[in-house]
């Protein structure tokens, strides 16, 4: 078992889930966020900071064995907050990892790095990025940064292109992108514990019937999703149908392709 695992973005939706579920895999969880993290349990250390603050990020990373990096802006937004949280934030994280010798990071990337592909296309890890938003661009920056820090410094990263990880799918698109919390947890465990992951890109989706993503190039992780969106199909089918040309029905990133532009 590792000594200390850092989870950034621990006050967020997935952070709250993984705070509970990753506890068995480390003696100590260090939890970080810009927002309040509540009260520390006996196995927890809390560290509130802004990812854009390099000195604070260095302190946050001190004494850590591995990181699950969830922190940052998680939807489309104006460029400045995305620049600070997701671009400067990821750079600060990797620089701290380099200086402190942290050797494994699991990066919460997003399907929005490939969101401008049509839903008729099947993608694997080698598909060129086609971001659908400034948010998607920032996740692409994170993936490229992690690639560089592996090639140059040997810091291993699993980039998880998370689909839609919520208690249940909200619409027809999410029937393809849904990632259950159980499958997410197991994917995080595999990403943290598999030896020699190098630099891996994996799509984070459950075993959904109408998936667009092929994870054969991440087979070495040994991750086999067990859930699927099928139990929710009747509920989603009961929703009023969207028009065939609604971006939700056309693009892998759904309506993210239409957001913005925003003022800086």
Give the whole-angstrom CA distance, residue 241 versus residue 166.
21
Cis ω for the linkage preceding 261 (within 30 of 0)? yes
Pick from 207, 171, 172, 155: which is nearest to 186 by CA?
207
Which residues, 92 to 111, sit near ligand 15L by CB under 6 A?
110-111
- Vertex 128: Cα angle to 122 and 129 (nearest 5): 95
Minimum Å gap between C-beta 174 and ligand NAI is 9
Q: Which does 225 bind (CB under 5 to 8 A by kind): ligand 15L, ligand NAI, none?
A: none
> Contact, 96 vs 60, CB < 8 A?
yes
Based on the residue annotation, tell me whether 117 is a catalytic residue of this protein. Answer: no
Return the number of the residue (28 or 48) whose C-beta is nearest ligand NAI. Answer: 48
Q: Which of 94, 117, 135, 178 is catalytic?
A: 135
Question: Of ligand NAI, ligand 15L, none, which one sits near residue 33, judging by CB under 5 to 8 A according to partner kind?
Answer: ligand NAI
Q: How far apart are CA 188 and CA 75, in angstroms?
A: 21
Q: Is 75 in the site for ligand 15L (CB under 6 A)?
A: yes
Contacts with ligand NAI by CB under 6 A: the residue count is 26
Residue pointed to by tokens 């990025």: 129
* 138 binds, options ligand 15L, ligand NAI, none, Cβ within 5 to 8 A by partner type: none
Q: Give the footprint of ligand 15L on this chain (CB under 6 A).
A: 74-75, 110-112, 164, 174, 177
Catalytic residues: 135
């Amino acid at each position: 078992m590792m000594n200390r695992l850092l989870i950034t973005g621990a006050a967020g939706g997935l952070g709250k889930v993984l705070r509970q579920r990753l506890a068995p895999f480390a003696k100590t969880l260090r939890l970080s966020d810009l927002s309040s993290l509540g009260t520390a349990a006996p196995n927890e250390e809390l560290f509130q900071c802004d990812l854009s603050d390099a000195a604070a990020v260095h302190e946050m990373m001190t004494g850590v064995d591995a990181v699950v990096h969830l922190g940052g802006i998680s939807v489309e937004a104006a460029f400045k907050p995305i620049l600070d949280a997701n671009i400067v934030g990821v750079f600060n994280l990797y620089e701290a990892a380099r200086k402190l010798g942290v050797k494994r990071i699991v990066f919460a990337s997003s399907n929005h790095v490939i969101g401008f592909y049509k839903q008729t296309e099947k993608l694997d890890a080698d598909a060129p990025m086609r971001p659908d938003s400034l948010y998607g661009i920032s996740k692409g920056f994170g993936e490229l940064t992690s690639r560089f820090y592996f090639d140059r410094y040997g810091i291993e990263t699993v980039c998880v292109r998370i689909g839609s990880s919520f208690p249940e799918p909200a619409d027809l698109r999410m029937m393809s992108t849904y990632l259950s919390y159980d499958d997410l947890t197991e994917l995080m465990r595999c990403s943290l514990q598999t030896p020699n992951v190098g630099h891996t890109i994996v799509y984070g989706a459950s075993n959904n019937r109408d998936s667009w993503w092929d994870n054969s190039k991440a087979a070495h992780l040994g991750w086999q999703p067990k859930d699927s969106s099928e139990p929710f199909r009747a509920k989603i089918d009961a929703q009023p149908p969207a028009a065939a040309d609604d971006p939700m029905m056309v693009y892998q990133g759904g309506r993210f392709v239409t957001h913005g532009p925003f003022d800086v």
